[in-house]
Structure 1
Amino acid sequence: MSDLGDIERKAGRGLRWSLLGNVVMKAGSFVMSLVLARILMPEDFGVFAIALAISQFVIHINDAGVISATVQWRGRLAEIAPTATVVAIASSFTLYGIFWLIAPFYAQLAGSEDATWVIRILMATNVVYGLTAVRSAALMRRFEQDKLAWANLAGFAANASVSITLAANGAGAYSFAWGQLSGAALTGVLVVVLARVRISFGFDRAVAARLLAFGLPLCVGLGVEGLLLNVDIVIVGDVLGPAQLGLYLLAFNISSWVPGLVGTAIRYVALPSFSRLAEEGTASIEAGVRRAVPLLASIVLPIAVLMGTLAPALVGVLFEPHWLPAAQVLRFLAIVMAVRMLNLLITDILAALGATRATMWVNLCWAVALVPALLVGARLDGIEGAAMAHAVVAVLLALPLLAGALHRAGVPPRLFLSGLARPVLAAAVAGVTMAGLAMVVDGPFVQLCVAGGAGLLVFALVAVPRAVLQQLVRQGRAHARL
């Protein structure tokens, strides 16, 4: 139990730093998106979306699973670092060369040949990630998320400065690509400096085989996950064109605020935490699941309900009127976001247990069903139809598949169901509250404040156990007396 407590303390500290860094970075990213949405047109966002889709797909397979394999390695880091470094660099450079060559064909397939050089510039960020993969894993393994947070924040500052400057000077979609490459380069330099892992190169075939045996199935699974996250961009761009794709991307970006904020923070600590818990035995894993699921659901579900119920008000307050068609897309992508967050947690639990093939098969089945559903949805009802298809497949197919994967790995799905029950009920009540109040108040800002605020309060009252609420009230009264 002392080991479990030590892991919890380290994971808690790492999660706090990850969340703090992501809150600041996402707040900055939000401001940057507002600025760029006023400088650029939907067509520019559409071209960038095409490049971003393939870049985000590659980032999932970029290091051949080296980061995850290094984080969960049961021995000393020094014994694998040289080999892991070589494998990650070789993988990232090989993939960059492949996608440099196919960039024109992919851009044409996605409906915009103008995206070719944007793709080639943006893909260079993945080379930087390959060069620094082992150092990033070392920081995650040691729960030094504070250093990762500072490196990422510095990189974001460079990204925002370059992107906004280039956009203001007419660079269009290229402003995004050069900004992200500049930010990745600065983050990479800082990660190498802060990780304090001696840079050395070597190749041990036995070590490489063990790394790849763990990492490749996970890599394939995450690659399919990347396909799941980005195939809609390609299909919408091909069927509906860059302008409609730009609207879809805006809704997708809003729905990604929570995965980008909470999901990234959780992923920084979930895999190392559950990997250490797996060493303690099944009971420790189950205890970790009981604590993680309600916490995750209580963070994600109220925001998903707010996005889905008050999407027109949210888009209307934040963006210019010509972006309002994105609101109907956001309603459905909020559902996809909630399923994605659950998938992230389950993926890390399965990886910690060594069941990386399960993730691969779940994501593969998900992708096989999603592609035709997106094609049908986009052709029948445009960007809203594509988003609806995405949500239907996520709920009706992905969730049962994830439950089955957990069961086969020895984690009872009832642990998840019991942890989700109260937050799901609270989300339903909050959604009804928001929808009802939104009908009686006028103006998007007022709707967000009144309906959104009341719905979030209702969620907290229903989701948080009475004993916890009473304890919070007592603490508040005690502080008030002071």
Structure 2
Amino acid sequence: MTDPAEGELESAIGRGLAWSLVNTATARLGSFLTGIVLARIIAPDAFGVYAVALVALNVLLSANELGVSVALVRHPGNVDRIAPTVATLAMASSLVLFVGALLAAGPFAEALGAPEATGVVQLMSVAVLLDGIAAVPNAMLTRAFAQRARLRIDLIAFAVSTPVTIGLALAGFGVWSLAWGAVVGNATASMLALLWTPERHGLGFDRAVAAEVLRFGLPLAGSSLLLLVLVNVDFAVVGRVLGTEQLGFYFMAFNLAAWPLMLVSSIVRRITTASYARMSDRGDGGATFRTSLRLVMGVAVLLCTLLAAYAPAIVVFLYGERWRPAAAAIPALVVLSLGRMLVELAYDYLSAVGRTVGTVWLHAVWLVALVPALWLGAEVLGIRGVAVAHALVVVAVVVPGVGIALRRAGVPIMPLVRDLLLPAAGAVAVLLSGLLLTSLLEDGFVLLAVGGVVGVLLYAAIVGPWLLRTARAFAGRPPLEARRRPPRSRRARSAR
């Protein structure tokens, strides 16, 4: 029989997953539609300039608050002792990084081959300050599985920022419309997080607490920084080697290929760190990790395979003919997206069980292998070569590295490999159907509609029942066959 505390935790995880699903699906659909509108207004080279500023912002945010907010999410019991110190560290580090960004924006943009991005980098750096202010409130929302509140926050931020972005774009402000929209959205989300956080904590500082949370958080911040450099260094290479127009094409391809990552992984990741930590306290964290990996990969493989099979038709249908060159990079970039999902879930699990140093080494080795491969790929095959370099490094370096890190944390590897065989078989079936249909039909809505329906049906026939069982297990519910089993009579229970 499940004890009350365990049942309450499983119920919280299930509710958090459901609200995270609604939140992510709504937010991604909104940003997707907005991206289609903006791609038909703003030229590819303006997106290239924006990509340079986004690289700077992502790197800054990855190092911001020094990883200490995760300590709040996983801390057992009351957090009143550590929260004020965490808030102080987060705000101090964000202020330092913001000032540094203002000073370094010019040289950074010049190094990436886009000096015109300097002002945009400086404007978007305001988000670093906002992130530091909202670090503790956001951590408390995550700790409480308060995904319903997160849904309200994200919807309101989207509703406020989108008219700003589109209005400025229509007025001819180009890349500045993207930057101002991002800042307005971040400001709105931060203010609402402060308003709706389940617990409020002021500033304070305790040297012993600071040492404690920094010992935990700095490896996470280092690992996160390396990961963000990893997924942004390609923008630097493309901008430097190929120019801002090709960077605009690559930026669009990267975002489209990352859609499965943003849609599927982000749904689960909003609750994984907290759930891994709580379940690990009961000795069941490894099983929870395996279930979440099956769920994420089971859905993401289908989406990634469809993107790879119909990339040119998807790009032209969504963004217009002028964006067709972006399709060349998508098939290999979906391999990167799948690799990032594996790394992010492993990162969350290793963080929850306190094994943070291994992720730093993994990302460092990944970066060392990736940079020369990206540069060679860009010189030889353009943006397609950059994407292929990503895929090769993921397969040859990243996947084995994750396996080593998980094994050292006590997670058996062979069951994880066996779990992925069924989605792989479904992906082969979808790819074969895609090859057949693209040879018979011209690019356009008919190809996408027929290919999507056929691909989903084939994949569902192979993977569907297995994926449904996995989803129910992750949400903390018994399988259907167990629920349908008739209850034993009182006599049978007494006989036992």
Paired residue secondary structure (2:203): coil
Q: Who is 1:419 aligned against?
A: 419
Per-residue CA deviation, residues 52-107 of structure 1 (Å, 9 max, x unaligned), is: 01111221111111221110112312111111100000111111111211110110
Q: For 1:314-329, list aligned pairs within 5 A.
A: 314-329=314-329
Paired residue secondary structure (1:464): helix
Q: For 1:325-340, list aligned pairs within 5 A.
A: 325-340=325-340
Q: Who is 2:88 aligned against?
A: 86
**CA apart distance, 1:119:** 0.4
Distance 2:435 2:356 in 1: 41
**CA apart distance, 1:215:** 0.7
Distance 1:158 1:256 in 2: 24
- Decide whether the 8 Å contact of 1:312 with 1:444 is kept in 2: no
| Match among 112, 115, 129 for residue 113 of structure 1 | 115
Give the structure-1-normalised TM-score.
0.94
Look up the equivalent residue of 2:62 and give its one-letter code.
H
Distance 2:257 2:46 in 1: 20
Per-residue CA deviation, residues 226-275 of structure 1 (Å, 9 max, x unaligned), is: 01111100110000000000000000111122222222222210000001
Q: Who is 2:430 aligned against?
A: 430
- Decide whether the 8 Å contact of 1:433 with 1:454 is kept in 2: yes
| Match among 222, 225, 233 for residue 223 of structure 1 | 225
Q: Who is 2:463 aligned against?
A: 463
Q: Who is 2:476 aligned against?
A: none
Q: Who is 1:75 aligned against?
A: 77
| Match among 253, 256, 281 for residue 254 of structure 1 | 256
Q: Who is 1:127 aligned against?
A: 129
Q: Who is 2:353 aligned against?
A: 353
Structure 1, unaligned runs of 5 or more: 476-482
Change (3 A) 1:323 1:472: farther
- Decide whether the 8 Å contact of 2:272 with 2:348 is kept in 1: yes
Q: Who is 1:22 aligned against?
A: 24
Distance 2:438 2:7 in 1: 45
- Decide whether the 8 Å contact of 2:62 with 2:225 is kept in 1: yes
- Decide whether the 8 Å contact of 1:375 with 1:386 is kept in 2: yes
Q: Who is 2:106 aligned against?
A: 104
Q: For 1:10-409, list aligned pairs within 5 A.
A: 10-281=12-283, 284-409=284-409
Distance 1:444 1:5 in 2: 49
Distance 2:270 2:170 in 1: 34
Distance 1:211 1:262 in 2: 30
- Decide whether the 8 Å contact of 1:329 with 1:383 is kept in 2: yes
- Decide whether the 8 Å contact of 1:293 with 1:420 is kept in 2: no
**CA apart distance, 1:472:** 8.8
Distance 1:340 1:171 in 2: 34
Distance 1:410 1:269 in 2: 22
Change (3 A) 1:113 1:294: same
Look up the equivalent residue of 1:296 and give its one-letter code.
V
Q: Which shows bigger deviation, 18-27 or 410-419?
A: 410-419
Look up the equivalent residue of 2:261 and give its one-letter code.
P
Per-residue CA deviation, residues 315-356 of structure 1 (Å, 9 max, x unaligned), is: 121111010010111111111111111111111111111011
Q: Who is 1:480 aligned against?
A: none
- Decide whether the 8 Å contact of 1:77 with 1:138 is kept in 2: no
Look up the equivalent residue of 1:252 and give its one-letter code.
F
Paired residue secondary structure (2:411): coil
- Decide whether the 8 Å contact of 1:286 with 1:415 is kept in 2: no
The percent identity for this pair of structures is 37
Look up the equivalent residue of 1:192 and give its one-letter code.
L
Paired residue secondary structure (2:65): coil
Paired residue secondary structure (1:246): helix
Change (3 A) 1:7 1:419: farther
Q: Who is 2:489 aligned against?
A: none
Look up the equivalent residue of 1:140 and give its one-letter code.
T
Distance 2:335 2:329 in 1: 11
Change (3 A) 1:85 1:428: same
- Decide whether the 8 Å contact of 1:362 with 1:398 is kept in 2: yes
Number of matched residues?
471
Change (3 A) 1:472 1:211: closer
Paired residue secondary structure (2:425): helix
- Decide whether the 8 Å contact of 2:137 with 2:200 is kept in 1: no
Change (3 A) 1:467 1:190: closer
RMSD: 1.8
Look up the equivalent residue of 1:172 and give its one-letter code.
G
Distance 2:55 2:467 in 1: 45
Distance 1:8 1:303 in 2: 28
Structure 2, unaligned runs of 5 or more: 470-478, 484-496
Distance 2:22 2:350 in 1: 26
Give the structure-2-normalised TM-score.
0.92
**CA apart distance, 1:422:** 1.3
- Decide whether the 8 Å contact of 1:44 with 1:246 is kept in 2: yes
Q: Which shows bigger deviation, 181-190 or 457-466?
A: 457-466
